């Protein structure tokens, strides 16, 4: 397949996420854990630019660039190759990633990279795949990749890749306490298996009270029912997370939870000013290597800009949060 090479550059933005609820079932014979999770996309972003190239290559910059692989193990490169093979593109692509989501922090930064690469290459190569077709490719790359395409708030079942958009109201203000040393997701799941034994549910279900809080737009009710079945395993591997959670609660957080497989701690605030108070408390206590504030829900992966020969460009849709 060939394409119109007048498109010289595509820029895409994809969000990180927080798991408002993560119910983990017992390890299945296929090697995966069944999940029932509620994702919320937040305003920490991966910005990815795609340009034509004879080869597949990736460069990385940004606040969380250190430690990101640029070889064939990188999810963005894997996504580009997967799409090329799927549609019969013989050319390569040059990807540049500006990384704003923590690495190995339980916020699906790598999955956001993959989603951004799928969307960027689809636009660059003018393959015109539907969102449904892109989501099917995304699911082959990882359980969180389809959600990075969808964004907003959604219920994930299966391995987390089967998504149902959730009805929500309002805006939620989050404080993220980051650790320089990440946690490996497989290690967290192995520890979960050891700790849970035979008590893990066979088919976990989404939390009804949490969904009611989201529909009501009630941050206090949401904070009271945040859940992560992986939190005990993450704490066993990184015991210092106990203090981080305690400081967040002492600062008045409506709820605090380890995000995904950790080690990032997510604290829910009453509003923007309260988020700054919680952030200051976490920083002063020295229980995080970095503290960031964000809001949710936000849109999933979106094309921000398409540049064509001659310098013309076509801007993509931008939400008010995207412009920040």
Q: How many other C-beta atoms can be found within 10 angstroms of the C-beta atom of residue 90?
A: 8
Catalytic residues, by residue number, are 17, 144
The packing angle between helices 109-124 and 131-141, to 10°, is: 140
Could you tell me how many residues make up the chain?
A: 324
Q: What is the DSSP string of 92-104?
A: EEEEEEEE-S-TT
Rounded to 10°, the helix 241-250/272-285 angle is 140
Instruction: Cite the DSSP H helix spans in the chain.
Output: 75-87, 109-124, 131-141, 145-150, 185-196, 208-216, 219-224, 231-237, 241-250, 272-285, 320-323
Query: Could you tell me if 216 and 172 are in contact, meaning their C-beta atoms sit under 8 angstroms apart?
Result: no
Distance CA 191, CA 291 (A): 27
Q: What are phi and psi of 169, to 5 degrees?
A: -130, 150
Give the whole-angstrom CA distance, residue 146 versus residue 48: 17
The DSSP element (H or E) to which 217 belongs, if any, is none
Coil, helix or strand at residue 253: coil
CA distances to 49, 65, 120 from 59, in Å: 10, 9, 15
User: Taking Cα atoms as reference points, which of 2, 139, 297 lies closest to residue 131?
Assistant: 139
């Amino acid at each position: 397949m060939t394409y119109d090479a007048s498109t010289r550059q595509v820029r895409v933005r994809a969000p990180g996420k927080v798991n408002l609820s993560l119910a983990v079932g017992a390890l299945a014979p296929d090697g995966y854990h069944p999940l029932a999770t509620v994702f919320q996309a937040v305003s920490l972003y991966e910005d990815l630019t795609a340009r034509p190239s004879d080869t597949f290559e990736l460069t990385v910059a940004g606040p969380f660039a250190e430690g990101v692989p640029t070889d064939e193990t990188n999810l963005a490169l894997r996504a580009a190759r997967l799409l090329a093979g799927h549609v019969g593109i013989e050319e390569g692509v040059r990807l540049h990633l500006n990384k704003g989501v923590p690495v190995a922090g339980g916020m699906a930064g790598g999955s956001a990279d993959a989603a951004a690469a799928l969307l960027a290459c689809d636009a660059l190569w003018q393959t015109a795949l539907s969102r449904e077709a892109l989501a099917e490719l995304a699911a082959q790359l990882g359980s969180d990749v389809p959600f990075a395409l969808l964004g907003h708030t959604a219920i994930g079942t299966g391995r987390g890749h089967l998504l149902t958009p959730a009805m929500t109201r309002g805006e939620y203000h989050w404080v993220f306490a980051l650790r320089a040393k990440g946690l490996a997701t497989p290690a967290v799941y192995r520890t979960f298996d050891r700790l849970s034994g035979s008590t893990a549910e066979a088919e976990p279900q989404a939390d009804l009270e949490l969904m009611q809080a989201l529909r009501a737009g009630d941050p206090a009710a949401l904070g009271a029912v945040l859940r992560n079945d992986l939190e005990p395993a993450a704490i066993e591997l990184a015991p210092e997370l106990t203090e981080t959670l305690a400081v967040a609660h002492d600062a008045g957080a409506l709820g605090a939870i380890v995000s995904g497989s950790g080690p990032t701690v997510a604290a829910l605030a009453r509003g923007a000013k309260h988020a700054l108070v919680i952030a200051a408390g976490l920083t002063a206590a020295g229980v995080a290597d970095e503290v960031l504030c964000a809001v949710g829900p936000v849109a999933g992966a979106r094309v921000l800009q398409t540049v064509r020969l001659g310098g013309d460009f076509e801007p993509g849709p931008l939400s008010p949060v995207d412009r920040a």
